[in-house]
Structure 1
Amino acid sequence: MKDDAQVWGERDVSSSKGMNDENFPVGSFLISAEQRPAVHAYYRFARVADDMVDNGQLSPAQKIARLTALRDVLHGQRKPPAGRADAWSGVILRTVLQERGLPLELGSDLITAFIMDAEKTRYEHWSELLHYCRYSANPVGRFLLMLHGEGEETFGPSDALCTALQIVNHMQDVSSDLKQLNRCYVPLPWLAAENVRLKDLILARSKPGVRRVFDHMLAHVDALNEEAARLPGLVKDRRMRLEAAVIVALCRRLTERLHQQDPIAERVALTRLDGLRALGWAMRYIR
């Protein structure tokens, strides 16, 4: 095992980005005050790992070493260095999961996805992207559901929702991911079929071929959103049911915006009004 200085480096690379900076609600007021600290601990762990893999000053090998160490801390196989909030996020989440009888894999699966990001910058097939989402996104929904005591019948629609959220986020960031991280989640054969090159994804606006690729992706997201729409009706906890309904509505709205707007020409994002409308739509599940 490498020593702490080799693995963790001289400083914590975590950003100042917080839950309010995310596209979708994280630990919102709809989550009970009792459960919110657990959600915050999970978010903080995920944020730390995400910052590690997106840091441009670390080599892929350094990213993988830190991520592996963070996973070892989560599993109690490594002690975190003193004074390092990034490493201690693994201890905090481990405590949260153990106290609630939840599997540690809900956290370590995220690390698997971030290690993929350090190793892989291109995707050849849609199935590869779905495999990535299985680790990068789906554990988040399952964590929230298991935290609230929901059953396995909710997992399929939740996985569909989380995968849809991940893909629309990739589409929002398609240009910046390529420019800043040299990372592209759009299946390369789909681009090739439309005679689109990677550099076309960082132009001022989408070419017709790029738009057709995006529409192809969104057709798959539409199908995921249809499956995700079943989720609120399956959730027993009232507050979690409302949270799920809001996120389902927001994901559908962002998908609609991506159908209509060009994510290369502009940042396609949700508005405050979208949020209020989603909350209003979710109230049908208040029973």
Structure 2
Amino acid sequence: MQEQEEARLWGAHDVSSSKGMKDENFPVGSFLIAPRVRPAVHAYYRFARIADDMVDNAQLSATQKVDRLTALRDVLYGRRRPPAGRADGWSAVVLRTVLQEHGLPLEVGGDLITAFIMDAEKARYEHWSELLHYCRYSANPVGRFLLMLHKESEETFGPSDALCTALQIVNHMQDVKGDLKTLNRCYVPLPWLAAENVGIEDLLLARSKPGVRRVFDQMLAHVDALNEEAARLPALVKDRRMRLEAAVIVALCRRLSARLRHQDPIAERVALTKLDGLRALSWAMRYIR
């Protein structure tokens, strides 16, 4: 009976993709992160990547996604053992061990699962506050994990939350058309579209209508405010390598926001270039002290 329950929860196959840290839009465990903590960062990323793959898998129903994500969270919290030989389930065991070794709260992993369950159950957003609530679970724990891993103070959490939320929103804007087309998921507040006399179907056109462009600019105005708060972060971080990492990401987020203002994410996928990365690193060097 227990074996049948396990089979129902986990399914016959591991749904993890081959996507790695180098495929992400922003640095993950870059060379700026100290070698002593990189294994912990890799374990955290692997856990998050697997959970993301679960919720984006087209072969799983919404109920199956929620059940599997809940099981993954139960493993993280020590309430369940994963099936033998399943790398997806065992990623939570590895992360649990890492978090305990570093004295970090399990919630920095568990909160990510909360966000992925939201993705399984919710495909539309009515208010900006709903999107911020989602980012509180989907993005902000990542920054707090890195800061706590480096023994930084709680003073850094506010600017870090602002940075992570800004990163999440610009990432949604980068993928606005693909998310809707492939996953039927849209993070653009629907009333903002309605106020400009455009609809969600207009996000699938060849290029942005003027009303859609105005909604994007409205979103970016909020991102600018978040980036202003995030700009305080590097100066608050004591660990030099983590300070440089934070500064680079602050600069990259601003550069991507600027690109999204001048390019159309409906017509093309707006992305950072290698030159953007070099310029961000150059700007961050002011924090090398």
TM over 0.5: yes
**Deviation of 1:4 (Å):** 1.1
Q: Paired residue for 1:57?
A: 59
Match of 1:141 among 140, 143, 146: 143
3-state secondary structure, aligned to 2:116: helix
CA distance in 2, matches of 1:280, 1:174: 30
Q: Paired residue for 1:112?
A: 114
Deviations 1:196-223 (A, max 9, x none): 1111001000000000000000000000
CA distance in 2, matches of 1:3, 1:273: 51
CA distance in 2, matches of 1:4, 1:30: 40
Match of 1:93 among 95, 99, 105: 95
1:225 maps to 2:260:
no
1:9 maps to 2:4:
no
Q: Paired residue for 1:41?
A: 43
**Deviation of 1:3 (Å):** 1.7
Deviations 1:103-137 (A, max 9, x none): 00000000000000000000000000000000000
Which runs of no fewer than 5 residues in structure 1 stay unpaired? none
CA distance in 2, matches of 1:198, 1:246: 34
Q: Paired residue for 2:187?
A: 185
**Deviation of 1:22 (Å):** 0.2
Amino acid at match of 2:281: L
CA distance in 1, matches of 2:240, 2:199: 47
Amino acid at match of 1:127: S
Which runs of no fewer than 5 residues in structure 2 stay unpaired? none
TM-score (norm. length: structure 2): 0.99
1:207 maps to 2:230:
no
- Matched length: 287
Q: Share of identical aligned residues, percent?
A: 84
CA distance in 2, matches of 1:83, 1:264: 42
Amino acid at match of 2:263: Q
1:234 maps to 2:236:
yes
Q: Paired residue for 1:29?
A: 31
TM-score (norm. length: structure 1): 0.99
Match of 1:277 among 261, 276, 279: 279
Amino acid at match of 1:242: L
CA distance in 1, matches of 2:265, 2:239: 36
Deviations 1:4-63 (A, max 9, x none): 100000000011000000000000000000000000000000000000000011000000
**Deviation of 1:176 (Å):** 0.5
Aligned CA-pair RMSD? 0.7
Deviations 1:217-249 (A, max 9, x none): 000000000000000000000000000000000
CA distance in 2, matches of 1:190, 1:83: 47
Q: Paired residue for 1:254?
A: 256
CA distance in 2, matches of 1:193, 1:233: 40
